[in-house]
Amino acid sequence: MISVENISKGIHRTLSDHLSPMFTTLTELTIVGIFVLTLFAVLGLVLVFMERKVSAYMQIRLGPNRVGYKGLAQTLADTIKLVVKEGLTPNGADKFLFNLAPFIVMFGAMLLMAPIPFARNSQIWDLNIGVLYITAVSSISVIGILMAGWSSNNKYSLLGAMRSGAQIVSYELSAGLAIISIVVLTGSLKISEIIASQETGWWLFRGHIPALISFVIFIIAVTAETNRAPFDMAEAESELTAGFHTEYSGMRFALFFLAEYVNIFIVCAIGATLFLGGWMPFHIGNWAGFNHLMDFIPSSIWFFGKTFFLIFVIMWFRWTFPRLRIDQLLNLEWKYLLPIGMFNLLLMTIIAIMGWYF
Amino acid sequence: MSFLRNYISTVYNSVRSLLIGMRRTGYYFTHHKEIITQNYPENRDQLNLPERFKGEVVMPHNDNNEHRCTGCTACELACPNGTIKIITKFDISPEGKKKKAIDTFIYHLELCTMCNLCIQACPTDAIKMAQTFEHSVYDRSEFIKTLNKPDSKLMEGVE
Amino acid sequence: MGDLIINVGPQHPSTHGVLHLVITLNGETVKKVEPHLGYIHRSIEKMCESLTYRQFIYVTSRMDYLSSHINNHACALIVEKGLQIEVPQRAQYIRVLLDELTRIASHQLWWGAMAMDVGAITPFFHAFREREVINDIMEQTCGARLTMNFMVPGGCMYDIHPDFVKSVKDFMAFFRSKLSEYDEMVTNNPIFQARMKDVGVISKENAISYGCSGPVARAAGVVCDVRKLSPYDVYSQVNFEEALETEGDCFARYKVRMKEMNESMRIIDQLIDNIPEGDFQAKTKAVLKLPKGDYYTNVETARGDFGVYIVSEGATTPYRIKFRSPGFCNLSALDHMTRGSKIGDLVAIMGSLDLVIPDIDR
């Protein structure tokens, strides 16, 4: 059967037959690098189009439907437009930092691709502290945002970048607590073991109430971390300008724009892995027949299906709710999400020790 | 204790009303029949504007190329911003009397505010509003229109 | 850092027109707001000095374009008052019906724009779907969707379309079913309420001293509905309540406007089945000349108290016209309301004031 696992094994066999081990590894690294870059590009295209169509249907209208067949080539047209625009550097801007900032944000997103499994046995890097790696690397993008705001030499960008930075740093706490509650249930930080432990059922269903609360907190926290509505005061269109990426135009703006959507994909992939079982099909306990039936659907389809479902939920949030003011946003985090998260972690630990889960 | 009760009830009520709002948008996402967008240039044939729609002023001519305008310039006087300019001439009627008649009816579409005052002022129902709305042109001189067709004359029986 | 002075420039997605605000900020708190007006000043009042009394009515449609019928109504009323013209009953009923439909349409657009300012973009499209139905009714009867110019001194320009009564009744049924959606999506939303409660408070005394009128003043408790205090046309014969609240914040203004929409629907229900037969226009002379003197009349537009003041020297054109626009005085209270709030609140307050800048700049 065609599966990601078989393809990667086949390539490895072919390469190691013809080349020395060092060259094999180098070639494989290059192939993986190209794969990640292509995935980024394709994801960017697909997600932007999906956002425009989802928002259109929720707003009782059609969305892009003229460029290409039923509007599918719309994002391509948008990308071409952004690429041919003039990339202006403002007058007093710190040139080195100004040019570096979009790359740092992309860099953080790319590093996070490594521990995520796309299909059975298809992880780029299965390290034994996978979850810790994810939480640590996701903080790198804050540096990029602050750099962008500072180096623009523009007081509104600075204001927007500071707000963004405060918001991201606060919500990482809640996201971390939600992730830890799943680690408590599994007993391991390694991602492949977390998925393997969901063989008899996804943690969202097996961990009942605390897992549900964790999941809700996780979704809210990652919406805030990626600066999406209802938490996008920092870059809101109807407020002062566009926040930290006001001065960016052309290709650099395209990189920020792309990085935002790829970030959404990554955090939804992490949520799908931890709470919804990653590539594990939907199994119910010991119903062998049902489980065997579910195994027929390829694991990569399960993974992408779950991730895109979570992306749809995040888009649903954006187009339904108004924006929170910056102080209300921080209020929500420190007074509501964090205490509930901590209490939930305690509850989850008790349940894990007593074995009160399915 | 009452603080805890307030806290929990705030959280519960907020989550509930947020979910109700999400259900409404989710409804519109799944029911595509509610979409009211019309694909404009493709549906020109199905578009029918109401008969009172004020598009532009026209002078209807019948099959014999006759109109009803006597050249009384009531519309020119009623127009608030000088959109209509009437040039009159003197016709010799069959009995040999001189009678005022219309030579050209100049209508500046770029100035017209579609206020309908000229049509109200006309005593013979010579002009009416057409239902066209696609007025863009590439050359501004196309906006200055002459409403009476060449070689047309006044219909019989109109005073 | 010291005080930042920022321009919320004339071109901005949330200033409802070309409004230039110079804001003095200290960190995130607003210390002073100064509006600079005049970007869309078209010298309408001067222009009217060369237009006759039949011709100047169309120009007021373009001032407050969301309540264009009501503005035209005011101009027709003042000419009738000056010339002592008696308007037939049928024309009065039609005028009031069109006025109330315009008020509902204006409040719908306000609702959509307010939701968009606070961040939720979806209600804007939903509001426009309902507004389209009203626009279609206007197109059927008056011939235009935004600048109707349907009123003449003496009545209406044409009679209503035969399908008018049926269209309005269909709209009423359609709109009633959608009002509960408005509540689901916006009014009961906790994020909305957090953004609008206790924001932009104005007390009753301050509202009176700044000259605010309309929903802005009614939300603070001031009784100022012109339709009740000095009724014109058929308003003295219909039952409706004035929407009053006491807190004076953004959420109170929101509730006042939602209640006004309900009251307008009540008025339409009372009038739609009872339109009397008769003329739709009184017979007037061909050339209208107001006798020498000055005249004033005011009506209740969707924004507040709109007044027309004419000084006439007995000629066919007025000597001087002055329009008292409601938005001008409401905008002057913006500074008072915004002091001490955050900058995110400024947008919410501007949205709740329901400003239409061409009305302010004329």
* C122 interaction partners in chain A (CB closer than 8 Å): 55, 58-59, 319-320
Tell me whether residue B104 is in a domain: yes
Q: Which one of C140, C147, C158 has the shortest CB-CB distance to B50? A: C140
Give domain status of residue B15, yes or no: yes
Q: Pick the residue from chain C with its C-alpha nearest to B112.
A: C58
Q: What is the pLDDT of residues A310-343, one digit of tens each?
A: 999 999 988 888 888 888 888 888 998 899 999 9
From the list B21, B32, B37, which residue is nearest A321 (CB)? B21
The pLDDT tens digits of the residues spanning C3-32 come to 778 888 787 766 677 888 888 888 778 888
Could you tell me if B61 and B12 lie in one domain? no
Q: Cβ contacts (< 8 Å) between B18 and chain A: which residues?
A: 321
Task: Quote the CA–CA distance of C349 and C352 in Å, as a whole number.
Answer: 5
- What are the sequence ranges of the domains in chain C? 42-361
Chains that touch C (3 or more CB pairs under 8 A): A, B
Q: Is residue B44 part of a domain?
A: no
Instruction: Write down the ipTM of this complex.
Output: 0.85
The pair of structure tokens assigned to C166 is: 């049926």
B157 pLDDT band (50/70/90 cuts)? low
- Gap between the Cα atoms of C111 and C139, Å rounded: 22
Question: Best residue in A55, A59, A61 to probe C by mutation, most C CBs within 10 Å?
Answer: A59
Q: Which residue ranges make up each domain of chain A?
A: 87-354
pTM for the predicted model, two decimal places? 0.89
> What's the pLDDT at A2?
61
Question: Which chain A residues touch B11 with a CB distance below 8 Å?
Answer: 336, 340
Count CB-CB contacts under 10 A for residue A335.
11
Helices and strands in chain B, H and E counts: 3, 7
Is there a contact between A99 and A283 (Cβ–Cβ < 8 Å)?
no
State the average pLDDT over residues C284-291. 86
Half-sphere exposure of C347 (CA within 13 A, CB side): 25
The confidence score (pLDDT) of residue C101 equals 92
Q: How do residues A250-281 score in pLDDT, each as one tens digit?
A: 788 888 888 888 888 998 999 998 888 888 88
**Residue B135 structural domain:** 56-154
Residue ranges in A59-94 assigned as alpha helix (H): 74-84
Q: B96: distance to nearest CA of chain C, Å?
A: 33
Residue C310 confidence (pLDDT): 92
d(CA C106, CA C100): 10
Q: Write the CB contacts of C66 (distance below 8 Å, at least 6 apart in sequence).
A: C102, C105, C106, C109, C302, C356
Distance between CA C214 and CA C300 in Å, rounded?
7
- Please tell me the distance in Å from A242's CA to the nearest CA on chain C: 12
Closest CA to C71 of C148, C134, C160: C148
pLDDT band for position C168 (cuts 50, 70, 90): very high
CB contact under 8 Å between A321 and C126, yes or no, is no
Count of structural domains within chain B: 2
Query: Within 13 Å and on the Cβ side, how many CA atoms surround C139?
Result: 14
Nearest CA-CA distance, residue C360 and chain A, Å? 22
From chain C, the residues in CB contact with A325 under 8 A are: 194-195, 342, 344-345
**Contact status of B25 with chain A (Cβ, < 8 Å):** yes
The answer to whether residues C205 and C248 touch, using CB atoms and an 8 Å cutoff, is: no
Give the CA distances from residue C15 to residues B119, C7, C9, C200, in Å, rounded to whole numbers and listed in that order. 38, 12, 9, 16
Q: Determine whether the interchain pair C144/B53 forms a contact, defined as Cβ–Cβ distance below 8 Å.
A: yes
Tokens standing for C87? 């308007």
Minimum distance, in Å, between the CA of residue A303 and any CA atom of chain C: 30
For residues B116 and B130, give the distance between their C-alpha atoms in angstroms, rounded to a whole number. 12
Q: Classify A250 as helix, strand or coil.
A: coil
Q: Are C326 and C294 in contact (CB under 8 A)?
A: no
Nearest-angstrom CA–CA distance, C281 and C94 = 11
What pLDDT is stored for residue A124 in this prediction?
A: 82
Q: Which of A60, A62, A336 sits opposite B28 (nearest CB)?
A: A60
Measured in angstroms, the CA of B159 and the nearest CA of chain A are apart by: 54
C137, C98 Cβ separation under 8 angstroms: no
Chain B segment 83-112 residues within 8 A of C by beta carbon are none
Calpha distance A196→A203 (Å, rounded): 11
Least CB-CB distance to B117: which of C54, C158, C191? C54
Look up residue B53 and give its two tokens: 């729609």
> Rounded to an integer, what distance in angstroms lies between the CA atom of residue B85 and that of residue B147?
11
For the ranges A260-269, B62-71, C249-258, the lowest mean pLDDT is seen at B62-71
Residue of B nearest to C183 (CA): B21
Interface residues of C toward B, Cβ cutoff 8 Å, are: 51, 54-56, 58-59, 122, 129, 132, 139-144, 147, 149, 152, 157-158, 161, 181, 184-185, 188-191
Region B134-149 average pLDDT: 87
Exposed/middle/buried for residue C246 (C-beta within 10 Å: 0-12, 13-18, 19+): exposed
**Cβ contact, residue pair A57, B18, below 8 Å:** no
Mind listing the pLDDT tens digit of every residue in chain A (358 residues)? 566 777 778 888 887 777 777 888 888 888 888 988 888 888 888 998 999 988 888 888 888 888 888 888 888 888 888 888 887 788 877 788 888 888 898 888 888 888 888 888 778 888 888 889 988 888 888 888 888 888 888 777 787 788 888 888 899 989 999 999 888 888 888 888 888 888 888 888 887 888 899 999 999 999 988 888 788 776 665 455 557 777 787 788 888 888 888 888 998 999 998 888 888 888 777 777 777 777 788 888 888 999 999 999 999 988 888 888 888 888 888 998 899 999 999 999 998 888 887 7
> B35 — contact with chain A (CB < 8 Å)?
yes
Closest to A197 in 3D by CA, of A179, A212, A184: A184
Query: C145, C135 in Cβ contact below 8 A?
Result: yes
Q: Would strands B153-154 and B66-67 be described as parallel, antiparallel, or unpaired?
A: parallel
User: How close A328 comes to chain B (CA, Å)?
Assistant: 14
The CA distance from A201 to the nearest CA of chain C, in Å, is 35
Cβ-based contacts under 8 A for chains A and C: 74
Q: Chain C neighbours among B 56-85 (CB < 8 Å)?
A: 78, 80
pLDDT in tens, C212-226: 988 999 999 999 888
Query: Which has the closest alpha carbon to C352: C161, C28, C111, C34?
Result: C111
Q: How far is CA C177 from the centre of its chain?
A: 24
Distances (CA, A) of C63 to C58, C131, C152: 10, 20, 17
- Of the residues C65, C137, C140, C180, the best mutation for testing chain B's interface (the one with the most B CB atoms within 10 Å of its CB) is C140
Q: Answer whether CATH 3.40.50.10610 is correct for domain C42-361.
A: no
Q: How far C28 CA sits from the closest chain A CA (Å)?
A: 9
Is pLDDT above 90 for C233?
no
| B120 and chain C in contact, CB less than 8 A | yes
Question: Considering only CB atoms, which residues of chain A are within 8 Å of chain C?
Answer: 55, 58-61, 155-156, 229-230, 232-233, 236-240, 319-328
Chain A residue numbers touching B37 (CB-CB < 8 A): 60-62
Q: Which of C26, C29, C121, C198 to mutate to test the interface with A (most CBs of A within 10 A)?
A: C121
Whether residue B147 contacts residue B57, with contact meaning beta carbons closer than 8 Å, is answered with yes
Contact between C6 and A240 using a beta-carbon 8 Å cutoff: yes
In total, the C-beta contacts within 8 angstroms joining chain B to chain C are 61
Chain C positions contacting chain A at CB under 8 Å are 4, 6, 8, 12-14, 28, 115-122, 124-126, 129, 185, 189, 191-192, 194-195, 342-345, 347
Report the CATH number at residue B115.
3.30.70.3270
Query: In the 3-class helix/strand/coil scheme, how is chain C assigned residue by residue?
Result: CCCEEEEECCCCCCCCCCCEEEEEEECCEEEEEEEECCCCCCCHHHHHHHCCCCCCHHHHCCCCHHHHHHHHHHHHHHHHHHHCCCCCHHHHHHHHHHHHHHHHHHHHHHHHHHHHHHCCCHHHHHHHHHHHHHHHHHHHHCCCCCCCCCEECCEECCCCCCCHHHHHHHHHHHHHHHHHHHHHHHHCCHHHHHHHCCCCCCCHHHHHHHCCCCHHHHCCCCCCCHHHHCCCHHHHHCCCCCCCCCCCCHHHHHHHHHHHHHHHHHHHHHHHCCCCCCCCECCCCCCCCCCCEEEEEEEECCCCEEEEEEEECCCCCCCEEEEECHHHHHHHCHHHHHCCCEHHHHHHHHHHHCCCHHHHHC
Contact C189 A321 (CB under 8 A): yes
Give the distance, in angstroms, between the CA of residue C199 and the centroid of all CA atoms in the same chain. 23
Looking at residue C13, its pLDDT comes to 67
**A59 contacts C121? CB cut-off 8 A:** yes
